[in-house]
């Protein structure tokens, strides 16, 4: 483009994947050609509409700053079609609050992160996705185009095999170690170090203040001790939970299955073997799936 003014006259397409650990954003031109990517803090709707929009705007500012000639301190929202795949969008009050707080966009599309993960993983074709991040959810795009989900009811009651689910159960072992029900071994010590609590009182204080993301932050410590008997049993339980979701979503055993999210590579090996043969690599991520939604909303490029 010859000038910033001409660039701003274009419609930008933005895809967002917003979860409890972070926000991933992809910026494209009106034809869907990717221009930049960026990341920011969490934008799961459980955190509130204002923090979610703050994270999305932060990522958008970073992305636009990477374009030649763009030095705006705020994204040119009125030139943007923004599609978001967000954790927590199935909570209708949270969704309404998020939409009500939207900046003056060209257009806004809001879907669940499970749906955008499906679109990204299978490029809009039928298939199953198990998203394993801070939280978890399973989704299927059926051959008739319907999207159905399992799990995803929210932490701590749901989110099986997620980072927060692993961290919550890991802290049971830390409690055992502190009061003598288990030995203070390397695994227990690493957990206590990770939460900065080495006495009963300080651990109680940490547990009282801990949120979903805090528990998910313990997942790397759990995975680093995968040979520990307690952890091994926990990871095998996670694999069984993933298999249960796959079976519920595709009882006919006819669709490809993709694991997405930060925990997917680590947990794949713990899925029972009948399901492992069905696993395929996700073609793209949830942010790419959201960008695909933005393209569909935009329609054919007028140029």
How do 127-132 and 107-112 pair as beta strands? unpaired
* The pLDDT of residue 6: 45
Place of tokens 């796959």: 246
* 9: pLDDT strictly greater than 80: no
Q: Which phi and psi angles does 55 have, rounded to 5°?
A: -70, -45
Give the domain 4-123+284-298 fold.
Answer: Nucleotidyltransferase; domain 5 (3.30.420)
| Helix spans in the chain (H) | 4-9, 49-65, 92-100, 113-122, 163-179, 186-195, 200-209, 212-216, 219-224, 229-249, 264-267, 273-276, 286-298
- Domain regions of the chain by residue span: 4-123+284-298, 163-276
Asked whether this chain's domains 4-123+284-298 and 163-276 adopt the same fold, the reply is yes
CATH superfamily of 163-276: ATPase, nucleotide binding domain (3.30.420.40)
Q: Evaluate whether 271 touches 242 at the Cβ level (below 8 Å).
A: yes
* The pLDDT of residue 303: 52
Mean pLDDT of the chain: 92
Q: What is the C-alpha to C-alpha distance for residues 279 and 271, in angstroms, rounded to an integer?
A: 10
* The pLDDT of residue 71: 65
* The pLDDT of residue 97: 98
pLDDT in tens, 110-137: 999 989 999 999 998 999 999 999 999 9
pLDDT in tens, 141-187: 999 889 999 998 889 999 999 999 999 999 999 999 999 999 899 99
Residues 6+ apart with CB under 8 A from 232: 226
Q: Evaluate whether 174 touches 203 at the Cβ level (below 8 Å).
A: yes
**pTM score above 0.85:** no
* 292 confidence band (pLDDT: 50, 70, 90): very high
User: What percentage of the chain reaches a pLDDT higher than 70?
Assistant: 94
* The pLDDT of residue 274: 87
pLDDT in tens, 65-100: 999 767 667 899 999 999 999 999 989 999 999 999
Strands (E), 10-68: 12-18, 23-28, 34-40
If you average pLDDT over residues 35-47, what whole number do you get?
A: 95
If you average pLDDT over residues 5-18, what whole number do you get?
A: 75
Burial (CB count <10 Å: 0-12, 13-18, 19+), residue 255: buried
* 2 confidence band (pLDDT: 50, 70, 90): very low
* The pLDDT of residue 3: 46
* 1: pLDDT strictly greater than 80: no
pLDDT in tens, 192-231: 999 999 999 999 999 999 999 899 999 999 999 999 999 9
* The pLDDT of residue 169: 97
Residue 32 region by backbone torsions, left for phi larger than 0, else alpha for psi between -120 and 50, else beta:
left
Q: Which phi and psi angles does 85 have, rounded to 5°?
A: -110, 110
Kind and range of the H or E element at 132?
strand 127-132
């Amino acid at each position: 483009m010859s000038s910033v003014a001409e660039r701003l006259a274009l419609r930008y397409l933005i895809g967002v994947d917003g979860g409890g650990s972070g926000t991933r954003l992809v910026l494209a031109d009106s034809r869907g050609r990717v221009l930049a990517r960026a990341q920011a803090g969490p934008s799961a709707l459980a955190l509130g509409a204002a923090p979610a929009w703050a994270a999305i705007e932060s990522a958008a500012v970073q992305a636009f700053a990477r374009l030649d000639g763009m030095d705006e301190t705020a994204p040119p929202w009125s030139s943007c079609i923004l599609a978001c795949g967000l954790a927590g969008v199935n909570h209708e009050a949270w969704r309404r609050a998020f939409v009500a707080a939207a900046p003056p966009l060209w257009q806004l599309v809001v879907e669940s992160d499970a749906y955008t993960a499906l679109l990204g993983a299978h490029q809009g074709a039928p298939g199953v996705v198990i998203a394993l991040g801070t939280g978890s959810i399973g989704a299927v795009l059926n051959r008739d185009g319907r999207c159905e989900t399992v799990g995803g009811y929210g932490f701590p009651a749901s989110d099986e095999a997620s980072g927060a689910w692993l961290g919550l159960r890991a802290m049971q072992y830390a409690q055992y170690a502190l009061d003598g029900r288990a030995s203070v071994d390397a695994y227990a010590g690493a957990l206590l170090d990770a939460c900065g609590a080495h006495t009963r009182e300080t651990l109680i204080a940490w547990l009282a203040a801990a949120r979903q993301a805090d528990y998910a932050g313990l997942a790397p410590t759990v995975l680093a001790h995968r040979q520990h008997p307690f952890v091994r049993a926990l990871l095998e339980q996670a694999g069984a939970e993933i298999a249960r979701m796959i079976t519920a979503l595709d009882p006919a055993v006819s669709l490809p299955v993709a694991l997405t999210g930060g925990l997917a590579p680590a947990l794949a090996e713990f899925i029972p073997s009948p399901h492992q043969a069905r696993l395929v690599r996700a073609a793209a991520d949830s942010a790419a799936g959201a960008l695909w939604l933005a393209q569909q909303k935009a329609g054919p490029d007028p140029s």
